[in-house]
Amino acid sequence: MTDEHHPDPGLATRLERVRADVSAAALTAGRQPDEITTIVVTKFHPASLVAQLAALGVHDIGENRHQEARAKAAELADLEVTWHFIGQLQGKKARQVRAYAGAIHSIDRPSLVDALASDESELDAFVQVNLTDDPGRGGVAPAELEALVEHVVSSPGLRLRGLMAVAPLGEPARPAFARVRGFSERIRRIAPDAGALSMGMSHDYSDAILEGATHLRIGTAITGNRPA
Ligand SMILES: *Cc1c(COP(=O)(O)O)cnc(C)c1O
């Protein structure tokens, strides 16, 4: 049995290794390691793993399924962590996600922006760009990016931070991340402060850092394999 008082030694080792790799890649890119936020993705893992991560100094947790995220956030309400929602989201669940999440990385359509808008509180927002031709992969098509960004910027309660992307399968990640950097330049004509880039996962975070990632979403490289 492991819990926050008896952490899994493998977890601490993997976390340290990733932190060292992130710092090394940042220095290679001529960047400061502290400009990069590592979000640890804990989907399918129990709340106890999140508690162990928090005890190891992790402050940013990523989840991609609302029911699961909501349950963990409720169980761990006294932990000082920010919950990042990174999965596809139904509009009717949007208000519920606002209740626990500090950031949403998967804004992909105008109706979701409308569902997330609020006069009561601010939520950090990332617009997800689809780097494939398959709409099922999530994210807005690049041709519709500016219109969606304008919609976010003109909606109350959403603080646009930047863009999110997942590297396509079956092609090198670095050129894909370079395309996202180009999209970022495009949207900053509309939203000059929205320069954040949420990109880079377990297998490609070093490439993402070289292309300017500010928010990494790393699961298995830190947590180990997800339970079936
Ligand atoms: C699961 C997931 C990740 C983390 O993936 P790993 O390969 O385990 O690092 C990152 N981003 C999104 C959107 C995910 O769903």
pLDDT at position 2 over 90: no
Task: Dump strand ranges (E) for 6-155.
Answer: 37-41, 60-63, 82-85, 101-107, 123-128
pLDDT at position 3 over 90: no
Residue 227 lies in a domain: no
HEC string of 33-76? HHHCEEEEECCCCCHHHHHHHHHCCCCEEEECCHHHHHHHHHHC
Residues 129-160 pLDDT 10s: 999 999 899 999 999 999 999 999 999 999 99
pLDDT of amino acid 9: 80
Residue 157 lies in a domain: yes
Give Cβ neighbours of residue 205 (< 8 Å, ≥ 6 apart): 18, 21, 22, 25, 213, 216, 218, 221
Q: How far is the CA of 121 from the centre of ligand 1 (A)?
A: 27
**CATH number of the domain that residue 168 is part of:** 3.20.20.10
Tell which atom from ligand 1 comes closest to the C-alpha of 226: 8
How far apart, in whole angstroms, are the C-alpha atoms of residue 25 and residue 108?
29
pLDDT of amino acid 228: 78
Q: How is residue 92 written in tokens?
A: 């009717």
DSSP per residue over 184-223, as a string? Answer: HHHHTTT-TT--EEE---TTTHHHHHHTT-SEEEE-HHHH
Residues 74-130 pLDDT 10s: 999 999 999 999 999 999 999 999 999 999 999 999 999 999 999 999 999 999 999
pLDDT of amino acid 227: 86
> Mutate which of 201, 204, 215 to test ligand 1's pocket (most atoms within 8 Å of Cβ)?
201
Q: How far is the CA of 204 from the centre of ligand 1 (A)?
A: 11
Residue 6 lies in a domain: no
Going by C-alpha positions, the residue among 56, 55, 59, 75 that lies closest to residue 67 is 75
Residue 2 lies in a domain: no
Residues 169-227 pLDDT 10s: 999 999 999 999 999 999 999 999 999 999 999 999 999 999 999 999 999 999 999 88
pTM of the model: 0.96
Overall domain count for the chain: 1
Q: What is the domain range of residue 110?
A: 11-206+214-222
Q: Angle formed by the axes of helices 173-187 and 145-153, to 10°?
A: 50
Q: How far is the CA of 201 from the centre of ligand 1 (A)?
A: 6
Q: 2: which DSSP letter?
A: -
Residue 3 lies in a domain: no
Residues 35-66 pLDDT 10s: 999 999 999 999 999 999 999 999 999 999 99
How far apart, in whole angstroms, are the C-alpha atoms of residue 3 and residue 48?
6
Residue 136 lies in a domain: yes
Q: How far is the CA of 120 from the centre of ligand 1 (A)?
A: 30
Please work out whether the CB of residue 79 comes within 6 Å of at least one atom of ligand 1: no
